Amino acid sequence: MPSTFGITKITGTLIESVDVEHKADLKQLITSDGHHSAARSVDDSYSFTVRGKGTCPVSAGGSTGAPTGVTGKIIITNATNSESNEDWNGFSYSGTGYVHAS
C-alpha cells in the first residue's frame, strides 16, 4: 500500500504543521439519589492552528483558511507574522469552527 507524505488537511503556501482538535461539552443528568441517569455531548466545536512560512494568508476575524474537515461557522481568532535573520519569514494562525452555528 503506498504511503502519503506531507500535509493534506490544507493547501497553500509552505505549510509546516496543522493541528485540529474536536471538542464538546458534556451535559449529565443526575437522578435525585445522585446516580448518573444520562449524558450527552453538546456544543461541539473544532479548534485549529496552522503554521507555515511566507506571509500569513488570513487575518484575524476572517472566515476562511480552516483545514479540511473543520465545519460550521469559522472564525480566525489569531494571526501572527514572524521575522528572523536566520530563517524565512513565518506565520501562524488559529481559529474555531462552531459546528452548529450559522
pLDDT above 70 (res 5): no
Q: Please state whether the predicted TM-score (pTM) of the whole model is above 0.85.
A: no
Classify residue 1: in a domain, yes or no. Answer: no
Range of the domain at 20: 14-98
Q: How many domains does the chain have?
A: 1
CB burial of residue 93 (10 Å; 0-12, 13-18, 19+): buried
Q: What percentage of the chain reaches a pLDDT higher than 90? A: 53
pLDDT at 74: 95
CA distance 43 to 23: 8
Classify residue 6: in a domain, yes or no. Answer: no
Classify residue 59: in a domain, yes or no. Answer: yes
